[in-house]
C-alpha cells in the first residue's frame, strides 16, 4: 500500500502535517502553483506504483477497512477495471446514505445513469486499475466540473465498471463546494456533452433540456436572479445542449421522466418500469 498526498499549492498546514509523519508508504507531492483537482489527481497517478488507485478528496474520509476490501475485490475479480461505490453524505450534523445499487451496467445504459445524475457519485468512491487510467489518459485537466462522470464515461468505452461493491466512504458536503453551486453548471454540462458524441443523438435531448432547465429553475427559486440570467445566457451560447430556456421547459416533463427510466435507444419502447438506481 502507498499513500500519495498531492498538495495543490495550498496555503494551509498540509506540508508541516505531512512532515511529521514518518512512514515509507507515504509520499508527498506539492504542485508549484495553484492548478485544479484534476491536475493534482493526475500527478498522483503519474507517481503511483500500486496496481489499483483509489481517490480521496481532501474533505472526505475512507472508513476503516476500505483499502483492504478494495485490494481483495480487485484480486478476486481480474476482469473488473473500476468500481463506483456507495457512500455517506455528511452536511453539518446530518448524515444520510448515498446508496449505489450492486450491479454491473455497460455502454449507453451506464452513460444514461451518469449524465442524468441517476446514481450518486463522488470521486472518493471511485477505484480504478492504474493500467486502465493510463490507457485513457487519466482525468481531463480542462474540465472544471463533472470530472468523475467524464472519467467513468471514458472508462466505460473499453473497460468493465462495477457499481456498489461496498459503502465505506464518507463525503463531507461543504457550503462552498463547486458541485453545489448552480453558477457555471450549464457551461460545464455543455463541455461534458461536447466530449462524448454518444449524447448528441435525439435520445438525450429531453434529458439534457431537463438538466439545464432544472438548475436554472433552482437558481430562480433561490432568489439568485442574476445567476439564473447568467445560466440562461450560457444555455443560449451552448454548442452541444438543446438551446433555449423556454423551449427547454416544454421538454421538462419528458426529460424528468427520462431521467428515471433505464436508457433506451431512440425508437425503442419503454417497459414503463423505473430504473434500479
For residue range 237-270, what is the model confidence (pLDDT) as tens digits? 999 999 899 999 999 999 888 887 554 344 333 3
Domain count within the chain: 2
Nearest to 184 by CA among 228, 137, 122, 130: 228
The parent domain of residue 230 ranges over 181-259
Q: Which strand (E) or helix (H) includes residue 44?
A: helix 37-47
Residue 146: phi and psi, rounded to 5, are 60, 25
Q: CB 40: neighbour CB atoms within 10 A?
A: 23
Give the residue among 170, 171, 168, 172 at the shortest CA–CA distance from 70. Answer: 168
Q: Is 62 exposed, middle or buried (0-12, 13-18, 19+ CB in 10 A)?
A: middle
Confidence (pLDDT) at 272 = 31
Residues 104 and 139 in one domain: yes
What pLDDT is recorded for position 233? 95
pLDDT of residue 234 exceeding 70: yes
Assess whether 125 and 187 both reside in one domain. no
**Confidence band, pLDDT 50/70/90 cuts, at residue 276:** very low
Please check whether residue 212 lies inside any domain of the structure. yes
Spatial separation of the C-alpha atoms in residues 256 and 93, rounded to whole Å:
31
Comparing 91 with 201, the larger pLDDT belongs to: 91
Same domain? 59 vs 155? yes
Let me know if residue 22 belongs to a domain.
no
Looking at the structure, do residues 64 and 124 belong to the same domain, yes or no?
Answer: yes
Give the pLDDT band (50/70/90) at residue 177: low
Q: Is 209 among the domain residues?
A: yes
Cα separation of 240 and 205, whole Å? 10
Whether residue 118 sits in one domain with residue 88:
yes
Task: Reply yes or no on whether the pLDDT at 112 is more than 90.
Answer: no
- How many whole angstroms from its chain centre is CA 36? 15
- What's the start-to-end Cα distance of the chain, in Å? 33
Residue 202 has a pLDDT of: 60
Sign, Cα dihedral of 21, 56, 177, 237: positive
Neighbours of 103 (CB within 10 A): 11
Cell readout for 16 is 508541516
Q: Is the pTM of this model over 0.85?
A: yes
Q: Does 5 fall in a domain?
A: no
> Cell triple for residue 145?
466540473
Among residues 137, 172, 207, which one ends one of the domains? Answer: 172
- In a domain, residue 1? The reply is no
Same domain, 90 and 154: yes
Tell me, yes or no, whether 191 and 165 share the same domain: no
Same domain, 98 and 152: yes
Question: 164 and 190 share a domain?
Answer: no
State what percent of residues in the chain have pLDDT above 70: 91
Q: Are residues 59 and 160 in the same domain?
A: yes
The 10s digit of each residue's pLDDT in 64-92 is 999 999 999 999 999 999 999 999 999 88
Domain identity same for 57 and 168: yes
Amino acid at each position: 500500500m502507498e499513500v500519495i498526498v498531492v498538495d495543490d499549492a495550498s496555503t494551509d498546514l498540509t506540508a508541516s502535517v505531512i512532515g511529521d509523519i514518518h512512514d515509507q508508504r507515504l509520499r508527498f507531492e506539492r504542485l508549484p502553483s495553484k492548478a485544479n483537482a484534476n491536475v493534482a489527481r493526475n500527478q498522483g497517478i503519474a507517481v503511483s506504483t500500486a496496481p489499483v488507485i483509489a481517490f480521496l478528496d481532501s474533505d472526505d474520509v475512507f472508513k476503516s477497512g476500505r483499502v483492504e476490501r478494495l485490494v481483495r475485490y480487485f484480486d478476486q475479480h481480474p476482469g473488473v477495471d473500476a468500481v463506483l461505490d456507495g457512500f455517506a453524505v455528511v452536511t453539518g450534523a446530518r448524515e444520510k446514505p448515498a446508496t449505489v445499487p450492486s450491479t454491473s451496467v455497460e455502454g449507453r445504459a451506464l452513460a444514461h445513469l451518469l449524465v442524468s445524475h441517476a446514481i450518486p457519485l463522488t470521486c472518493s468512491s471511485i477505484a480504478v486499475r492504474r493500467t486502465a487510467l493510463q490507457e485513457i489518459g487519466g482525468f481531463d485537466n480542462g474540465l472544471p466540473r463533472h470530472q468523475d462522470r467524464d472519467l467513468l464515461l471514458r472508462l466505460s468505452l473499453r473497460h468493465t465498471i462495477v457499481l456498489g461493491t461496498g459503502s465505506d466512504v464518507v463525503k463531507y458536503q461543504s457550503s462552498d463546494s463547486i458541485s453545489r453551486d448552480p453558477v457555471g453548471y450549464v457551461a460545464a454540462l455543455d463541455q461534458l456533452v461536447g466530449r462524448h458524441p454518444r449524447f448528441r443523438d435525439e435520445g438525450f435531448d429531453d434529458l439534457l433540456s431537463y438538466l439545464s432547465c432544472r438548475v436554472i429553475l433552482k437558481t430562480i427559486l433561490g432568489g439568485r436572479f442574476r445567476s439564473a440570467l447568467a445560466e440562461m445566457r450560457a444555455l443560449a451560447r451552448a454548442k452541444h445542449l438543446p438551446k433555449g430556456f423556454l423551449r427547454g421547459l416544454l421538454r421538462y416533463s419528458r426529460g424528468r421522466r427520462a431521467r428515471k427510466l433505464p436508457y433506451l435507444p431512440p425508437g425503442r419502447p419503454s417497459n414503463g418500469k423505473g430504473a434500479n438506481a
